[in-house]
Amino acid sequence: MRNLILMPLLICSAAPSAAQEHMVTGQYIEDRSSRVYGCPCEWSSEWINEGREAILAWNIQSGDFRGVDLSGLRLAVVLRSNFNLGVPGALRRFGIFIDEAASSGQRRAGETWLRSRYGDILGRVLGVHVAPIVFDFAAESAGVSVGTILHLKMRRARFADDTQTWASRLYEPFSSLVSSSLGTTLRTEYRGPDLRIRWTREGNEITGYYGTFAMP
């Protein structure tokens, strides 16, 4: 399956701008509790009672923020809304997980970067936690684990197996991506301290994305 191109690639030049020099780049994974690609009947059945939760994860590979090198920093967010996340203005709350391998300076800078870049999307923070984060990212699959709290595994979507022939994209990813693939989530599990909800979900539905990002 060809990758979806969601934003133009950055154009390289002999003299990069200051913004380009300080771009934060890396890998991104997103999974929702509803389909992001499906047919109208699937969308309508999920709109009211599902699609309120999402897992977002970043593996920063290069870049700095306010003078702090963020290379190697991993972040994860568990997000929940009082209604489907596709509804503008719905109340959103989230918990942040920061990789324990990061330095204290990286943790502070990474949290600030995350809030400044995604605050409007994420809503009100409920807690910030330090935990081991393992990132798995390949051409055909992606996943993230946060200790014993969170586990997410997806593979590249196969349309013939995972959806109907008349399906289409229902939701864009929360993060602007340089390149992305639609992901079919195999298993999601959350047993965390925030949000007052726990869930385990297994299936073969196209509920997410994985790809690369580049942003200030």
Residue 31, strand partner residues: 55, 208
Q: What is the tens place of the pLDDT at every residue in 34-69?
A: 999 999 888 888 998 899 999 999 999 999 999 999
> Is pLDDT above 90 for 5?
no
pLDDT band at residue 7 using 50, 70 and 90 as cut-offs: very low
**% of residues, the chain, pLDDT over 70:** 90
Query: How much is the pTM?
Result: 0.89
User: Which residue do the tokens 């385990």 mark?
Assistant: 200
Which one is predicted more confidently, 27 or 43? 27
In this prediction, residues 195-209 reach a mean pLDDT of 92
Q: What is the tens place of the pLDDT at every residue in 80-131?
A: 999 999 988 889 999 999 999 999 999 999 999 999 999 999 999 999 999 9
pLDDT band at residue 19 using 50, 70 and 90 as cut-offs: very low
Cβ atoms within 10 Å, residue 40: 12
User: Which residue do the tokens 């599902």 mark?
Assistant: 50
- Looking at residue 36, its pLDDT comes to 97
- Collect all residues with Cβ–Cβ distance below 8 Å to 131 and sequence separation of at least 6: 97, 98, 99, 100, 146, 147, 149
Say yes or no: domain 22-215 is CATH 2.40.400: yes
Which one is predicted more confidently, 4 or 56? 56
- Collect all residues with Cβ–Cβ distance below 8 Å to 18 and sequence separation of at least 6: none
- Collect all residues with Cβ–Cβ distance below 8 Å to 76 and sequence separation of at least 6: 55, 56, 57, 58, 96, 97, 133, 144, 146, 150
CB 56 within 8 A of CB 174: yes
pLDDT band at residue 1 using 50, 70 and 90 as cut-offs: very low
Instruction: Supply the DSSP string of 81-134, one letter for each residue.
Output: ESS-TTSTT--EEEEEEEETTS-HHHHHHHHHHHHHHHHHHH-EEEEEEEE-EE
Q: What's the chain's length in residues?
A: 216
Provide the token pair at 200: 């385990």
The distance of Cα 121 from the centroid of its chain, to the nearest Å, equals: 11
> Is pLDDT above 90 for 14?
no
Per-domain residue ranges of the chain:
22-215
